[in-house]
Amino acid sequence: MKPTLFVLAAGMGSRYGGLKQLDGLGPNGETIMDYSIFDAIRGGFGKVVFVIRHSFEDDFREKIIKKYVHQIPVEWVFQELDYLPKGFTVHPERVKPWGTNHAVLMGKDAIKEPFAVINADDFYGKESYKILADYLSGLENKKDDYCMVGYRLGNTLSESGSVARGICETDDKGYLSTVVERTYIVRDSDGVIKYKDESDQLVPAGENTPVSMNMWGFTPEYFQYSEDYFIDFLKENQENIKVEYFIPLLVNHLITSGIARVKVLDTPSKWFGVTYADDRQSVVDKINNLIAQGEYPSKLW
For 177, half-sphere exposure in the C-beta direction (CA atoms, 13 angstrom radius) is 8
pLDDT < 50: residue spans in the chain: 12-17
Q: What is the pLDDT of residue 114?
A: 98
Does residue 194 contact residue 203 with C-beta atoms inside 8 Å? yes
DSSP state of 193: E
- Domain topology for 4-152+212-292: Spore Coat Polysaccharide Biosynthesis Protein SpsA; Chain A (3.90.550)
CB proximity list for 195: less than 8 A, separation 6 or greater: 165, 167, 182, 184, 185, 186, 202, 203, 205
pTM of the model: 0.92
pLDDT digits (tens, 9 = 90+) for 181-199: 898 999 999 999 999 999 9
Write down the domain spans for the chain: 4-152+212-292
Mean pLDDT of the chain: 92
Q: What is the pLDDT of residue 13?
A: 40
Q: What is the pLDDT of residue 14?
A: 42
Dihedral (C-alpha) 247, 250, 253, 259: value to the nearest 10 degrees? -110
Q: What is the pLDDT of residue 262?
A: 98
